[in-house]
Amino acid sequence: MPKKAFNGGQLKFLSGADVENLHAGAIRILEECGLRVDHSEAFEIYRRGGARVESGENRVRLSGKMIEQSLANTPAEILLAGREQSNDLKLAGHAVYAGTGGAELKVIDLETKQLRDSTLQDVADIARLVDALEHIDFYIRPVVAQDIPQQLLDINKYYAALANTSKHVMGNVYFPAKVAEVVEMAAIIAGGKKELQERPLVSFITSWMLSPLRLNSEVTAILIEIARHNMPVALSSVAIMGLTSPITMAANLALTHAEQLAGIVLCQLINPGTPVVYGGCPGVADMRDMSFIPGSIERQILNAAISQLAQHIHVPNYNLAGVTDAKIPDIQAGYEKAFGLGLTALAGSNYIHHAAGRVKDGVAYEQYIIDNEIIGMAKRAVRGIQVNAETMAIDQIIAAGPGANYLTHEHTLKFLRDEFYHPLISDRRERKAWEDTGGLDTRERARREARKILAEHRPLKIPSDCDARIRKKFEIKYNFP
């Protein structure tokens, strides 16, 4: 059975008319303004697909008909498989999942609390941590292994991740040729190419768009390879209010939606049926000093609203929440993360990345523990209140009468576990009990839990024969401790 998902969609920042107007506006942008496409192969793909082109300035304009046809070819449901079926994710409709994200260069060391460079061991250790945390649904490689040569980085980060978690693994690659390597390695683990296509254990992120409306040639080449391999791919684009988009939220959403439609068209022209994940991730800058402010409430609102545009065109969506401008796991990190996760989950975002681990300048091991708690609370909010004859318990209330005590009632025993969210590290005891056990704050309790998991948790191993084949084929730098 796949991992259980709860359906969001209760929160709507946009009315139905708003969504229709933004979608129509995005199509006008692509028809009348178009894109700049400096990558020659992508330019030709668009041209052969029926786009109006201007070679002199590499301008490509897409018709509404092209967009409509591409959307008809785009899957409305995508399976992102885990090595264990219980970790399978089905992205569709308003199903909500949340996981890690990022390509950070720094880690707050679990022992010293100091920022240091990230390593391949961090990629593996964070994967193992995530594997043990119930509410974190998938693993996007959150840090860059700076102790690995760049030519070996892609295969090694995917291997270190897959070897330490049976949850779905997503990441980027730095070179087009590396797509085939990652796919081949994943196929070995999956049991063959056909099996990988049926149950994709890995997927890809491509930041192929340089907002506004200009394709990143280097990443576009990678995107083309991914589409040709028919692998799931998230089309990440970040238009920043007041910098790379007009300053209003509505304009940012229209521009972001246009960029996403352009990426969907490209993928479907390459390979009709490519499993594309709508990846609009609107950004916000502080107009006082032009600094990027990922934890702002405006960004959280935008990332909740953008999922409505993905839902409108029936394409699974990838966006972000759980980002913060806090430098350490502190109160600011808590309220910024909780707001973002609550809003995007209630909006029905399918694949919420950056939901765990990240702080302003990198990631923190203890933050994954804390964020697992926040994600669990957000999912409980999404689950909402189930109202039926059994949960209303009208007959039980009448039978018990005034002044009844329900503590030992059969109805209480039946619903006790499912009705409540039970946190892992939140301290709900009386003050004296908390003081008697050291009076630890949340961050310290989370640090201790992270150490415990890293010392004790043993993830599902890659079968030894698969591991041997992978190591014979590729230069794997990760070795199990």
Who wins on pLDDT, 480 or 470?
470
Whether the predicted pLDDT of 154 surpasses 80: yes
Q: What is the rounded distance in angstroms from the CA atom of residue 452 to the CA atom of residue 440? A: 16
Q: What is the mean pLDDT of residues 297-310?
A: 95
Shared-domain flag, residues 348 and 298: yes
Q: Provide the pLDDT confidence category of residue 139 given band limits of 50, 70 and 90.
A: very high
The reported pLDDT for the residue numbered 293 is: 82
Of the ranges 152-161, 289-298, 343-352, 464-473, which one carries the lowest mean pLDDT score?
289-298
- C-alpha distances out from residue 462 to 158, 185, 473, Å: 13, 12, 15
The reported pLDDT for the residue numbered 88 is: 98
Q: What is the mean pLDDT of residues 218-246?
A: 97
Q: Tell me, yes or no, whether 293 lies in a domain.
A: yes
Q: What is the mean pLDDT of residues 280-299?
A: 87
- State the SS3 of the chain: CCCCCEECCCCCCCCHHHHHHHHHHHHHHHHHHCEECCCHHHHHHHHHCCCEEEHHHCEEECCHHHHHHHHHHCCCCEEECCCCHHHCEEECCCEEEECCCCCECEEECCCCCCEEECCHHHHHHHHHHHHHCCCCCEEECCECCCCCCHHHHHHHHHHHHHCCCCCEEEECCCCHHHHHHHHHHHHHHHCCHHHHHHCCCEEEEECCEECCCEECHHHHHHHHHHHHCCCCEEEEECCEECCCECCCHHHHHHHHHHHHHHHHHHHHHHCCCCCEEEEECCEEECCCCCCECCCCHHHHHHHHHHHHHHHHCCCCEEEECCCCCCCCCCHHHHHHHHHHHHHHHHHCCCEEECCCCEECCEEEHHHHHHHHHHHHHHHHHHHCCCCCHHHHCHHHHHHHCCCCCCCCCHHHHHHHHHHCCCCCCCCCCCHHHHHHCCCCCHHHHHHHHHHHHHHHCCCCCCCHHHHHHHHHHCCCCCCCC
Q: What is the mean pLDDT of residues 234-242?
A: 95
Q: Provide the pLDDT confidence category of residue 336 given band limits of 50, 70 and 90.
A: very high
Whether the predicted pLDDT of 2 surpasses 90: no
The reported pLDDT for the residue numbered 480 is: 81
Rounded mean pLDDT of the chain?
96
Q: Provide the pLDDT confidence category of residue 443 given band limits of 50, 70 and 90.
A: very high
Shared-domain flag, residues 362 and 334: yes
Whether the predicted pLDDT of 232 surpasses 80: yes
Q: Tell me, yes or no, whether 100 lies in a domain.
A: yes
Domain that holds residue 324: 6-14+72-383
Q: Tell me, yes or no, whether 205 lies in a domain.
A: yes
Who wins on pLDDT, 387 or 56?
387
Whether the predicted pLDDT of 481 surpasses 80: no
Q: Provide the pLDDT confidence category of residue 402 given band limits of 50, 70 and 90.
A: very high
Q: Tell me, yes or no, whether 22 lies in a domain.
A: no
Task: Convert 24-44 to b/e letters by CB count within 10 Å (16 or more is b).
Answer: ebbbebbbeebbbbebeebbe
The reported pLDDT for the residue numbered 174 is: 96
Shared-domain flag, residues 304 and 411: no
Q: Tell me, yes or no, whether 216 lies in a domain.
A: yes
Percent of the chain with pLDDT over 70: 100
Q: Provide the pLDDT confidence category of residue 413 given band limits of 50, 70 and 90.
A: very high
Shared-domain flag, residues 254 and 361: yes
Q: Tell me, yes or no, whether 54 lies in a domain.
A: no
Q: Tell me, yes or no, whether 169 lies in a domain.
A: yes
Shared-domain flag, residues 289 and 403: no
Shared-domain flag, residues 367 and 410: no
How many domains does the chain divide into?
2
Shared-domain flag, residues 260 and 400: no
Q: What is the CATH number of the domain that holds 151?
A: 3.20.20.480
Q: Tell me, yes or no, whether 273 lies in a domain.
A: yes
Shared-domain flag, residues 300 and 410: no
Whether the predicted pLDDT of 289 surpasses 90: no
Q: Provide the pLDDT confidence category of residue 55 given band limits of 50, 70 and 90.
A: confident
Whether the predicted pLDDT of 62 surpasses 80: yes
Q: What is the mean pLDDT of residues 147-157?
A: 96
Whether the predicted pLDDT of 286 surpasses 90: no
Whether the predicted pLDDT of 287 surpasses 90: no
Whether the predicted pLDDT of 278 surpasses 90: yes
Of the ranges 61-65, 67-71, 118-122, 421-425, which one carries the lowest mean pLDDT score?
421-425
The reported pLDDT for the residue numbered 185 is: 98
Shared-domain flag, residues 298 and 404: no
Percent of the chain with pLDDT over 90: 94
Q: Provide the pLDDT confidence category of residue 384 given band limits of 50, 70 and 90.
A: very high
The reported pLDDT for the residue numbered 288 is: 85
Shared-domain flag, residues 216 and 105: yes
The reported pLDDT for the residue numbered 1 is: 79
Shared-domain flag, residues 395 and 316: no
Shared-domain flag, residues 291 and 413: no
